[in-house]
Amino acid sequence: MNTTELSSTARGIVQAVETAIVGKTEIIELALSVLLSNGHLLIEDIPGVGKTTLAKALARALGMSFKRIQFTPDLLPSDITGSSIYNQKTGDFEVRPGPVFANIVLADEINRTTPKTQAALLECMEERQVTIDGTTHQLPSPFFVIATQNNIEMSGTFPLPEAQLDRFAARIEIGHPNRAAEMAILTMQRQSAPVDSIQPVIDTTRLLALQRDIREITVRDFVTGYILDIVAATRNMDEVQLGASPRGSLCLLHACQARAALHGRDAVIPDDVKALAVAVLAHRIIVRPDFRGRGVTAASCVNKLLTQITVPTAPK
């Protein structure tokens, strides 16, 4: 594995996406880290800040197939996975694949559909497969789900259950651009959308190779211990009813490997853990109701731990 080449390729992807998502380099890097670590991403933010654009820009920069599913209250599981249709000419049932059969799937406003339909994504995200009428079908590889939900207008929505939230490697917020970035957006998009002109930086074969290379990034015991210290602490806080799961530990480890590679390093350092801990762990934590009333959030709990737990140094 050549970390310089790996970093250069990843940087090329970030730069391509930045032509459509201006002033959000850190967010793009985080999204790419999730993709390279073979996870899934949940974007929770207000309308109009670029959630859909980020998904489309990534798909174009990676040269992969892209499907968008608009989640609504009347959406059915078969509208996502597909169904079997009887062919009168052949006398057989034929599978009509749903939009989930793509490399990058945008589940837009996922909390606006019913739990039964939300659950249709569980098997897809975990096993990378779909079962239609008792027959299992493999999904394309790589397979990356980007789900979005607005953190306003919560009436008429169905909050994701903890089991499904835990399937997402990270949850992020894009946020408003600063004035300079928004000026650049207005200037660039007077006549056309930059996302439409993004050219592929790599192909699917190369991306799969990158995902394999990421797992070879070194994680020394003192860094693994730091991850475990943080995760274990989320389970023992007075403010927390339910702490992060072992899946959270794994997602944090793999995302840190991807971030290290993206920054040209062949080993994970504690700064990688600190940079990703909130995005990877906060959505797995349930704060006790009495503390929620005092303004305590899952993100503030993780940030509190990052200030309390001693950052380890490499043994000599």
CB burial readout 172-194, b (16+ within 10 A) else e: bebeebeeeeeeebeeeeeeeeb
CA angle 267, 272, 273 (to 5 degrees): 115
Asked whether the beta carbons of 118 and 136 are under 8 A apart, the reply is: no
Residue 155 pLDDT level (bands cut at 50, 70, 90): low
List, for residues 229-248, the tens digit of each pLDDT value.
Answer: 999 999 999 999 999 999 99
Split at pLDDT 50, 70, 90, the class of 132 is confident
Which domains are delineated in the chain?
1-191+198-214 (3.40.50.300), 217-310 (1.10.8.80)
pLDDT of residue 285: 94
Query: What's the confidence (pLDDT) of residue 1?
Result: 57
pLDDT digits (tens, 9 = 90+) for 25-72: 899 999 999 999 999 999 988 877 888 889 899 999 998 999 999 999
Q: Phi-psi bin for 157: left (phi > 0), alpha (psi -120 to 50), beta?
A: beta
Please give the average per-residue pLDDT across 269-273, as a whole number.
Answer: 96
The answer to pTM > 0.85 is yes
pLDDT of residue 134: 80
- Residue 136, CA atoms < 13 Å, CB-side half-sphere: 6
Distance CA 9, CA 2 (A): 11
Q: Which residues contact 316 (CB under 8 A, 6 or more apart)?
A: none
Q: Counting Cβ atoms within 10 Å, is residue 278 exposed (0-12), middle (13-18) or buried (19+)?
A: buried
